[in-house]
Amino acid sequence: MPSISSFEKNADFKGSSFSTETTLSTDDQPDEVFARKAGYAPVPRSYGGVWRNARSTFYGGMDAAGTMSGACGYGNLYASGYGVHTTALSSALFKNGMACGACFEVQCGGKGKPCKPGSVVVTATNFCPPNPGQSANNGGWCNPPNEHFDLSYPAFVKIADPKAGAVPLQYRRVPCQKQGGIRFTINGNCNFILVTITNVGGSGVVTAAYLKGDKTEWSPLSRNWGANWQCRRNYCGQGISIKIVTSDNKVSVTKLAKSDWCFGKTFIGKQV
């Protein structure tokens, strides 16, 4: 099966320039620069297209409770807008979290049993770690360089009989269809702000984020981990606005709250 790098070399991707709505220097684009250095250009110009080969297992139960939270930091996937059709990705696809929020259409890659007809769209919300003690074809499904999807149970049963355990898979990137606006959950204190960004449409992948107070200019946030972005600037007592850039070069700018905002709340922003 092809590696992510060979997939990208043969695909047609957008460049890394930002929307004309926002002009940013390279120094202000830490996550975008990291993405380019990692060789990870997540979004093709046209979604869909050629199916790529991978393999799939599943984890958790029918209610998907066992898939909550995960390496992307989305927390409760019901509350954050991702539902039960999600997947953990092997390191070849996860790319140190750069694939968090990406949406894939997947279908069973075999013929007859245990495959089922049709496909399902899943969102990348977790990491499937390698298991060096097992063969890549027998328990070490997520070992490099395997491209592997560890689907939630509800997603897996859409395309295959769960009694099979593991099946060949075909996948392709698709745009994320989300209900409502982007969600920004703000935690921390006046000296440290942590923003969890969820329910992102389009490419689903956030590559840069910025905060602005009524008395300050735009300042870049750095990725803490997964969907969590941080800064050490004091925005207490100021109205705040947020700007995000996604990997398909879309920009969302939202005035989140007036000066009486408080930590621990989720604010709804403009969808990309």
Instruction: Give the Cα separation of 263 and 241 in Å (integer).
Output: 15
Structure tokens belonging to residue 108: 């069973």
Instruction: Give the Cα separation of 251 and 272 in Å (integer).
Output: 6
Which domains are present in the chain?
38-173 (2.40.40.10), 182-269 (2.60.40.760)
Closest of 271, 224, 262 to residue 240, by C-alpha: 262
pLDDT tens-digit series, residues 154-199:
999 999 999 999 999 999 999 999 999 999 999 999 999 999 999 9
pLDDT exceeds 90 at position 20: no
Do 87 and 153 contact (CB within 8 A), yes or no?
no
In this prediction, residues 132-143 reach a mean pLDDT of: 88
Structure tokens belonging to residue 244: 């995000």
The reported pLDDT for the residue numbered 2 is 29
Do 59 and 66 contact (CB within 8 A), yes or no?
yes
In this prediction, residues 89-114 reach a mean pLDDT of: 92
CA-to-CA dists, residue 264 to 113, 189, 226, angstroms: 48, 10, 18
pLDDT tens-digit series, residues 28-71:
334 444 444 444 444 454 577 789 999 999 988 776 667 677 89
First-residue to last-residue Cα distance in the chain: 33
